[in-house]
Amino acid sequence: MNGPTDIYLAAPRGFCAGVKRAVDIVENALRDYGAPVFVRHEIVHNRHVVENLRRKGAVFIENLEEIKDKTRPLVFSAHGAAREVYEQAAALGLKVLDATCPLVARVHRQIRKFEEEGRRIIVIGKKEHPEIIGTTGQLNHPDRALVIGSRTEAENLPPFDGKTGVVTQTTLETGAVNDVIAILKNKMPQLETQTVSDICYATTHRQSAVREIAGRCDAVVIIGSQNSSNSRHLKETALKNGVKNVWLIDDASELPFAELENVQKLGISAGASAPEHLVQELVSALQKHYANLKIHDIIVAEEHIEFKS
C-alpha cells in the first residue's frame, strides 16, 4: 500500500451548539467592550480556538485574583463553574458573561434537585475535569458527591438502598457510561437519573458517526486537542470499534504520513470543540499528498440545534 485511496468523513463532527455559543460570547464581548476580555479557563478545550481568541485580546485565567483591572468583563467557559466562583465574581463587582453550555447548566439544576431531595449523589466523570468541578460545585456540600470514573469503581461500591441520584459528565463515551449506570442500578434500587445519562446530543452523534466510519476504515484521524474530553472519547470509540490505528491530532501539520503509507481507507472526524476549517485543511493536505483520493460523506444525523449567545 502507498497511502489512502478513500477518505470517510464522519458527520456530524466538529463544533457543537454549546461550543459555538461560547466562542460567540467571547467574540461579541471583544467587539462590544474591546480588549482585554478575561476568560476563566480555556473557553473550550481546543488549542486553535484559544490561540485565535488570545490573538484578538482574550486573556485566559484560572483564578479571579489574576484580574487586575476589575472593570473588564469576565467570561465563564462552556464547562461551567462552581457556585462559589459566581459568588467571588459578584463580590469583586465583575461583569460576568456566562458561556456555560445550556446542557451543562441542565445537569447543574439536576444535581441541585437531587441535593434538595436528600439523595446520596453519584457523579460519573473525571474528578479533575472543569465540568465535574463546576457540577459538584453546585452543591451546598460538594465533597459529599461521590465522583466515579470507571466500571471498577462502580463495582467496588457497596450496595445502598437509600435514595440515590446520578449525574454524568456530558462528553463521556456512551457505552462505558451505560455500563457504569447498569452496575449502579443493580446495587442501588432507588437510583434516579435525569435521563439514561447526561451525555449530550453532540457527543452522542459524533460517537455514532465514528462508529459508522470505524467499520469501513483501516485507520482514523480525529481532529481535536489532547485535553478535549469529547475528542479523546471519539478516539476511544474508534478503538473500541476495531480500528487499530487512531490518531488524535490538533491539525494537518501533525498528520502521520509515514504510518499512513500502510492505510487504504482513512476515516476522519473532529471533536465538538474543533473548528471545521481544520478538517478542510486536513483533507486538502491529504489530497496534495495522495492523488485521486475518493471522499465519502458518512452522515448519521442532522443537527439543527442552536443556543442563543
Q: Which residues are catalytic?
A: 131
Residues that bind ligand SF4 (CB under 6 A): 16-19, 78, 101, 103-104, 170-171, 200, 202-203, 230, 272
Q: State phi, psi for 187 to the nearest 5 degrees.
A: -90, -20
Q: How many Cβ atoms sit within 10 Å of the Cβ of residue 226?
A: 12
How far apart CA 306 and CA 18 sit, in angstroms, is 8
- At closest approach, how far in Å is the CB of 230 from ligand SF4? 5
Give whichever of 121 and 200 is closer to ligand SF4, judged by the CB atom.
200
User: 256: cis peptide before it, omega within 30°?
Assistant: no
**Minimum separation from the CB atom of position 169 to ligand SF4 (A):** 9
Residues for the chain: how many in total? 309
* Least Å from the CB of residue 125 to ligand SF4: 12
Choose among 226, 171, 233, 175: nearest CA to 203. Answer: 171
- Nearer Cβ to ligand SF4, position 243 or 274? 274
Q: Are 145 and 191 in contact, with CB atoms under 8 Å apart?
A: no
Angle between the N-to-C axes of helices 174-187 and 229-240, in degrees from 0 to 180, rounded to the nearest 10: 90
CB of 259 to ligand SF4, least distance (A): 29
Retrieve residue 204's grid coordinates.
452522542
Residues 6+ apart with CB under 8 A from 73: 29, 33, 37, 38, 94, 95, 96, 97
Q: How far apart are CA 63 and CA 133, in angstroms?
A: 14
Decide: 238 and 215 in contact? Cβ < 8 Å. Answer: no
Task: Take residue 5 and report the three cell numbers written for it.
Answer: 485511496
Residue number closest to ligand SF4, CB atom: 18
Residue nearer to ligand SF4 on the CB measure, 75 or 219: 75
Q: Which is nearer to ligand SF4, 164 or 273 (CB)?
A: 273
Concatenate the DSSP letters of all residues of 21-80 into one string.
HHHHHHHHHHHHH-S-EEEES-SSS-HHHHHHHHHHTEEEESSGGG---TTS-EEE-TT-
Q: Which is nearer to ligand SF4, 164 or 168 (CB)?
A: 168
